[in-house]
């Protein structure tokens, strides 16, 4: 039985099907984790969402920022952005079933040697703290989604404190697990930097290189940072290799640690729609 992890799909359905074929993925035997952002910006968000939901017995996703953006729109918050490709989901006849299923997906999943999250874990969090916070967000999504999405957007607070409560606590957890890339040297979230490590200014560091990081007893699998690309080190693996922007779509075999890729079929340019 194989266990694979695949980076952000973002509606790149053709590449996804090509990669599953290359893997020889057997839905009755193999299992698959997806690093979130199933939808948006790519050409076939609706087909991608339908396919993963139809195979959720063997495919497990976490929620990414684009997935949450879609759900927020469903509850009347946020707005369609230039370059979004999720309008077809919001008008689909099976919209209710699709978005109800998506809202049930977690922010974090784990097994004995690995944890998967869309963007990363706050360096000061233990794994136990991260799991607890992810569960708090899941509870809010299930029991009061309208209120959750009404307060989800925003860039504050930028620093973790154990005594954070209410909407600030949930927003910080979501921002860390679905939007984080870089931190300031004094330990605050930076929401502006989106480029490569080589381009990172001296006053920032990637979250996984923080000197006070505690969650190193397990390998963290994540996506979100397409400019980082395939990255392995510091007990992390980044699997978003920018299939949406012309890079490959990447899978990792967790049993063998082999990397498997297929080429992108897109001609999209980030500069044209960002």
DSSP 152-219: H------S--TT--HHHHHHHHHHHHHH--EEETTS-EESS--S-GGG--TTEEEGGG-TT----SSE
- Domain of 33? 3-273
pLDDT of residue 31: 97
Question: Sign of the CA dihedral 174, 175, 179, 181?
Answer: negative
pLDDT of residue 267: 66
Kindly report, residue by residue over 43-94, the tens digit of the pLDDT.
999 999 999 999 999 999 999 999 999 999 999 999 999 899 999 999 999 9
115, pLDDT greater than 90: yes
Do 6 and 23 form a contact (C-beta atoms < 8 A)? no
pLDDT of residue 266: 80
Do 120 and 133 form a contact (C-beta atoms < 8 A)? no
Strand partners, 204: 184
Domain with 11 in it: what CATH number?
A: 3.60.21.10
Phi-psi group of 34: left, alpha or beta (phi > 0 → left; psi -120 to 50 → alpha; rest → beta): beta
**Nearest Cα residue to 49 out of 76, 81, 9, 22:** 9
Give me the DSSP letters along the chain: --EEEE---TT-HHHHHHHHHHHT--TTT-EEEE-S--SSSSS-HHHHHHHHHHTTTTEEE---HHHHHHHHHHTT-S-PPTT---HHHHTSTTHHHHHHHHHT--SEEE-SSEEEESS---TT--HHHHHHHHHHHHHHHHH-HHHHHHHH------S--TT--HHHHHHHHHHHHHH--EEETTS-EESS--S-GGG--TTEEEGGG-TT----SSEEEE-S-TTT-SEEETTEEE----GGGTS-EEEEETTT--EEEE-------HHHH-
221, pLDDT greater than 60: yes
Identify the band that residue 272 occupies on the pLDDT scale cut at 50, 70 and 90.
Answer: very low
Strands 108-110 and 114-117: antiparallel
What is the domain count for the chain? 1
pLDDT of residue 269: 53
274, pLDDT greater than 50: no
Strand partners, 261: 250
Identify the band that residue 271 occupies on the pLDDT scale cut at 50, 70 and 90.
Answer: very low
Kindly report, residue by residue over 3-25, the tens digit of the pLDDT.
999 999 999 999 999 999 999 99
- Between CA 190 and CA 147, with CA 79 as vertex, the angle to 5 degrees is 80
Do 252 and 9 form a contact (C-beta atoms < 8 A)? no
């Amino acid at each position: 039985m194989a266990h694979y992890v695949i980076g952000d799909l973002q509606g790149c359905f053709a590449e996804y099907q090509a990669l599953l074929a290359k893997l020889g993925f057997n839905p009755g035997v193999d299992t698959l984790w997806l690093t979130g952002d199933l939808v948006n910006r790519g050409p076939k968000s609706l087909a991608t969402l339908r396919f993963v939901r139809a195979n959720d017995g063997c495919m497990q996703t976490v929620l990414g920022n684009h997935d949450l953006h879609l759900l927020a729109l469903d509850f009347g918050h946020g707005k369609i952005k230039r370059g979004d490709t999720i309008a077809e989901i919001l008008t689909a006849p099976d919209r209710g079933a699709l978005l109800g299923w998506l809202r049930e997906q977690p922010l974090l999943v784990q097994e004995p040697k690995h944890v998967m999250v869309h963007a990363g874990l706050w360096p000061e969090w233990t794994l136990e703290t991260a799991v607890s916070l992810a569960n708090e967000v899941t509870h809010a999504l299930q029991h009061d989604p309208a209120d959750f999405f009404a307060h989800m957007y925003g860039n504050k607070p930028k620093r973790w404190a154990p005594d954070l409560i209410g909407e600030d606590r949930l927003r910080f957890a979501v921002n860390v697990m679905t939007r984080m890339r870089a931190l300031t040297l004094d330990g605050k979230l930076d929401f502006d930097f989106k480029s490569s490590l080589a381009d990172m200014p001296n006053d920032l560091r990637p979250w996984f290189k923080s000197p006070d990081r505690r969650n190193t007893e397990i390998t963290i699998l994540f996506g979100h940072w397409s400019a980082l690309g395939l990255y392995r080190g510091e007990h992390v693996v980044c699997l978003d290799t920018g299939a949406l922007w012309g890079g490959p779509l990447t899978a990792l075999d967790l049993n063998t640690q082999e990397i498997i890729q297929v080429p992108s079929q897109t001609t999209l340019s980030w500069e044209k729609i960002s």
